[in-house]
Amino acid sequence: MFLLIMRFSIPLPKLHEFTLTMERLVKWPVYILHSPSQGNDAKKFELIRSWTNESAMEKDLASSEYRNLTGVIEILGSAIESNIYSVVKRKALA
């Protein structure tokens, strides 16, 4: 199993453009992060994607949707962190 967790921020004046891009070009669910320490000048978002195998992950990461997402983050906002996690083995507890 593979898991992508990407966090990024979009300034408030750019939210409308970001929303339009996500609705029209990306269509992957993105969640708004709420934090008491969050300032009022930008919204923070989180994207979580999971895949059961590496080829499915590579296909998504090579897709136009992923390129559109990373492009819109680069142009309209800023990346906070982006990590891919992999699970190699599962062991039941107890």
Domain boundaries, the chain: 2-86
Task: Identify the pLDDT of residue 38.
Answer: 55
Residue 37 — very low, low, confident or very high, per pLDDT cuts 50/70/90? Answer: low
CB-based contact 57:2 (threshold 8 Å): yes
- Of the two residues 28 and 84, the one the predictor is more confident about is 84
* Helix axis angle, 64-76 to 54-61, nearest 10°: 50
Indicate the CATH number for domain 2-86: 3.30.70.100
The pLDDT tens digits of the residues spanning 43-86 come to 999 999 999 999 999 999 999 999 999 999 999 999 999 999 99
What's the pTM? 0.82
Look at the block and give the residue holding tokens 């590579």: 58
